[in-house]
Chains A and B, each alone.
Chain A
Amino acid sequence: MSTAIIETSYKKRLNPKKFALWVSFGSIIMMFGSLTSAYIVKQASGNWLEFIMPNHFIISTISIILSSVFLHLSFNALRTHKKAMYQIGLVLAVILGFSFVAFQYYGWSALFSVGVDLKGNASGSFFYLITGLHALHVLAGIAALFVAVFHAFTLKFKPSTMRINRYELVVHYWHFVGILWIYLLGFLILCK
């Protein structure tokens, strides 16, 4: 009977919430993709100010990479039921996340002080718009991390599947904004 074949093909599918998150990454990629395309089009039409990105952005990049590493360690610790590492990794990830945003801010200030402002040449406008929009996405991630911290220190330490799945959503989003930043950094360095 064909029912038997159907029964076996009806396997447990991906966690729908995780899938939905990945679909929303598609949206975010399209948004930044369109901004960087607009950047290329505008740049090709001339009147483009060239500038060198301040070193603050290197420090912020290191922060967000390390933050992702610690968050992942924390996530693995939750899966293997190691409470201390789970909490420490998460807190370090949040601190490094803040450090990322802070160094982005210092980077903008440094750039502003050498005369690259938002209103002037379109290259500056694009720079602030793209990095600013990215920083907003990082802040949203930090908000999610705060919820995770709250759970990590208030809930009883019982790593159920539901809790691991929920944490995984935050971890994926955080890795995503990190990778997005590395793409943007590479783009802004290569296309100036």
Chain B
Amino acid sequence: MAEITTYNPDVLIEESGYDDHFHDHHHGDKYQSNFINHYVFSMDHKIIARQFLMTGIFWAIIGAGMSIIFRMQLGFPEESLTWIKPLLGKWIVVNEAGMGSLAPEFYYALVTMHGTILVFFVLTAGLSGTFSNLLIPLQLGARDMASPFLNMLSYWFFFLASVVMFYSLFLSTGPFSGGWTGYPPLSALPQASTGSGTGMTLWLVSLTLFVVSVLLGGINYVTTVLNLRTKGMTLWRMPLTIWAFFVTAILGILSFPVLASGFFMLIFDRGLGTSFFLSEIFIEGQALDRVGGSPILYQHLFWFLGHPEVYIIILPAMGLVSEVLSVHARKPIFGYKAMVLSILAIGFLSFIVWAHHMFMSGVNPFISNFFVIFTLIIAVPSAVKVFNWITTLWGGNLRLVTPMLFAIGFVSMFISGGLTGIFLGNSAIDIQMHDTYFVVAHFHIVMGIAAFFGMFSGVYHWFPKMFGRFMNETMGKIHFWVTLVGAYAIFWPMHYLGMAGVPRRYYSFDTFDAFRHFGDMNQFITIAAIIVFAAQLLFVINFFYSIFKGKEQKVKNPWGATTLEWTTPINAGHGNWPGKLPVVHRWAYDYGKDGKEFIPQIVPMEEGEVAGDH
């Protein structure tokens, strides 16, 4: 039986902490002297994290709600949708018989916006924005980010991007409807479809603002990790969360500017008459006078961001899950160094696989081989991580609280979704699978659901750090089980649809003999989606209820974690630690070492003690 020692962080920090004369300057108070600069234009990373999270939740409800509407169309094309008319207005077309159906243009707009919102606003800003902001300074022992001002700007650029995108939903011509990837010519010619006009212009404006937000945030994260670690916090003592955020930020800094280049060229094509991406196109019966461009060029630029982007989404989730698994299994993470090297390897490989999204676009098959090989190699570091998560669980004293359940759920989802990636990474199999529901199932499980599981795990785990209270466990467990079973119920059948060749993005399959008999399966998926959506609303209720009425956090370190964020006061003010900064003496995973249940990072090494990280 491991001996349980309670550590008093206040005493430890006072005794051996590092005095940076923080309170001699009193700039901590200057930041938050009134309501506006405390809660609105705040430069405190903890407030900014919560702002990212709240905005992310707002977008998640909208984005998921959109999926329910288009799933209604796919599952119940014969049912009247007149009841959504108060919400969607003219986009529900009612015929003489009183039967309302979703306008096909708006179906495409919904699919496009669902993708854009979830990928960029929820899983990039809402996930990495929230937790990088919350945890990087706290877990590194820093007062705040390297530049709190740029950090604030990062949020407000995201906010502006959100406002522009939200506005575009209400345009009379609808938001952009050419797919979340924004391929030309649909995105390059304003006359190409209803959403290609103002909708697309606003889409470009919004995402350009978003790129600025990601870059400001990312530059700050990288600088903070490399420059503001407290005494003793060497790179190899950083928790895996920080490693994941760090590599995520580097990926963002290097890949989002490439997307910006593509956007600039697209803006030129749309507004200034250039032909970067346009060539020999007939539109409205007329030959366009623009020649010589290449739409494939845009695809290259887009996917040079687009592929690292999926790792920008999944790496933070991996980091959160590694931490949560270790804390609640009461065991050191298995293979810490292998985990770090895997993160680095995944980050590196993510830049040289982008064309696997383009196997069917006519790229040279010999070049495809190169991309197939590197895509399949990503399976190696991914498998190392999965192996290490499972071995971390093995023989641990598992505490099956909600964050732990979601972390284990993440591992399950990541395995299921990752395996289908090995199929899709082969250019030959992709001939059959490309643009089918198999792809939809693959990426939703591996980077949609899995990333959401990582995010939920993080929210339940660090909720006390954010709000000084706990989320309700019962609601949390219902949320977990419905989401786990429901998500598989939604996406598992889609693999079969995809193998049968059912194409994605189609409005209706009524006129296709080959796909018509999948009606029942589509109904099943839609019903599952509605149930899962309801479970997410339960999460939202739990979230806001718990902010005000949740079980209060009584002790500083309720989970018995080793990392520094739990040594700050409950509801810490700006500057995080009231007095000295904590000094780190060991790695972040000393659980069950030398007969002690856990040893926080701030506890000095004992005479003759061997460091736990090897």
Known: A17-B146, A129-B268. A23 touches B300 (CB 8 A): no
Q: Is the interface of A mostly helix, strand, loop or mixed?
A: helix
Asked if A155 is at the interface of the complex by the 8 Å CB criterion, the answer is no
How far does the alpha carbon of A66 sit from the alpha carbon of B604 in the complex, in Å? 55
B585 partner residues in chain A, CB cutoff 8 A = 2-3, 6
Look across to chain B and name the residue whose beta carbon is closest to the beta carbon of A10: B231
Give chain B residues whose Cβ lies under 8 Å from the Cβ of A157.
Answer: none
B605 on interface, CB distance cutoff 8 Å: yes
B231 touches A122 (CB 8 A): no
Residues of the A chain whose Cβ atoms lie less than 8 Å from the Cβ of B215: 24, 27
B276 touches A42 (CB 8 A): yes
Neighbour of A10 across the interface among B224, B232, B276, CB < 8 A: B232
- Known A20-B150, A125-B268, A133-B264; judge A34-B257 contact (CB<8 A): yes
Task: Name the segment of B286-294, B379-387, B431-439, B512-520 touching the other chain.
Answer: B286-294
Interchain CB contact under 8 A, A122 and B234 = no
B264 contacts A122, C-beta separation under 8 Å: no
* Count of chain A to chain B residue pairs whose CB atoms are closer than 8 Å in the complex: 115
Asked if B273 is at the interface of the complex by the 8 Å CB criterion, the answer is: yes
Q: Is B16 in contact with chain A by the CB < 8 A criterion?
A: yes
Please tell me if the beta carbons of B273 and A14 are within 8 angstroms of each other in the complex.
Answer: no
Instruction: Determine if A16 and B228 form an interchain contact, defined as CB atoms under 8 angstroms apart.
Output: yes
Is B222 in the interface zone, CB < 8 Å from A? yes
Q: Is A161 an interface residue (CB 8 A)?
A: no
Contacting A38 at CB < 8 Å: which of B16, B220, B231, B261?
Answer: B261
1/0 per residue, CB under 8 A from A, across B464-476: the answer is 0000000000000
Distance in angstroms from A102 CB to nearest chain B CB is 22
Alpha-carbon distance A122/B267, docked complex (angstroms)? 15
B275 adjacent to A122 (CB under 8 Å): yes
Q: Are A17 and B147 in contact (CB under 8 A)?
A: yes
How many chain A residues touch the partner (CB < 8 A)?
36
Which of B248-256, B404-412, B530-538 is found at the contact surface with chain A? Answer: B248-256
Are A30 and B257 in contact, CB atoms less than 8 angstroms apart?
yes
Q: Contact: A23 with B231, CB < 8 Å?
A: no
A26 within 8 A of B: yes
Instruction: Verify B253–A26 contact, CB threshold 8 A.
Output: yes
Contact: B268 with A3, CB < 8 Å? no
Given A30-B254, A31-B257, A38-B261, answer yes or no on A20-B232 (Cβ-Cβ < 8 Å). no
Min Cβ gap B543→A in Å is: 33
Interface string of B195-220 (1 = CB under 8 A from A): 00000000000000000000100111
List, in ascending order, chain B residues with CB within 8 A of A20's CB: 146-147, 150, 219-220, 222-223
* B264 CB contact (under 8 Å) in A3, A30, A121, A129: A129
A48 to chain B, nearest CB (A): 9
Q: Give the residue of A14, A23, A126 whose beta carbon is less than 8 angstroms from that of B219.
A: A23
Q: C-beta contact mask, A25-44 vs B, less than 8 Å → 1, else 0?
A: 01110110111001001100
Instruction: Give the chain A neighbours of B293 by CB distance below 8 A.
Output: 122
Please tell me if A187 contacts chain B, counting CB pairs below 8 Å. Answer: no
Q: State whether the Cβ of B304 lies closer than 8 Å to any Cβ in chain A.
A: yes
Over the window 276-303 of chain B, the binary record of Cβ atoms lying under 8 Å from chain A Cβ atoms (1 yes, 0 no) is 1000000000000001111001001100
Contacts of B219 in A (CB 8 A): 20, 23-24, 27
A19 close to B (CB within 8 Å): yes
B292 touching A47 by the CB < 8 A rule? yes
A6 and B146 form a contact (CB under 8 A): no
Q: Is the CB of A41 within 8 A of B297?
A: yes
Interface mask (B460-502 → A, CB under 8 Å = 1, otherwise 0): 0000000000000000000000000000000000000000000
Q: Which residues of B contact A47 (CB under 8 A)?
A: 291-292
CA distance A122 to B265 in the complex (A): 11
- The yes or no answer to B97 lying at the interface (CB within 8 A) is no
Give the distance in Å from the alpha carbon of A14 to the alpha carbon of B228 in the complex. 10
- Nearest to B292 among chain A residues (CB) is A47
Q: How far apart sit A38 and B583, CA to CA, in the bound complex (Å)?
A: 48
Residues of A within 8 A of B261 (CB): 31, 34-35, 38
CB atoms of A125 and B227 under 8 A apart: no
Closest-CB distance, A169 to chain B (whole angstroms): 12
| Distance between Cα atoms of A129 and B583 in the complex (Å) | 50
- Complex: A119 Cα to B223 Cα, angstroms: 41
Q: Find out whether the CB atom of A13 lies under 8 angstroms from the CB atom of B222.
A: no
Residue in B closest to A133 when the chains form the complex, CB atoms: B264
- A2 and B547 CA atoms in complex are apart in Å by 42
Shortest Cβ distance from residue B112 to the other chain A in the assembled complex, whole angstroms? 24
Chain A residue at smallest Cβ distance from B273: A119
A126 to B220, CA, bound (A): 32
Is residue A45 within 8 Å, beta carbon to beta carbon, of the partner chain? Answer: yes
- Contact status B227-A19, CB under 8 Å: yes
- The 8 sampled A-B contact pairs (Cβ below 8 Å) are A3-B583, A16-B224, A23-B253, A31-B258, A34-B262, A34-B304, A38-B301, A133-B264
Measured CB to CB, the residues of B under 8 A from A are 16, 18, 146-147, 150, 215, 218-220, 222-224, 226-228, 231-232, 234, 253-258, 260-262, 264-265, 268, 272-276, 291-294, 297, 300-301, 304, 583-585, 604-605
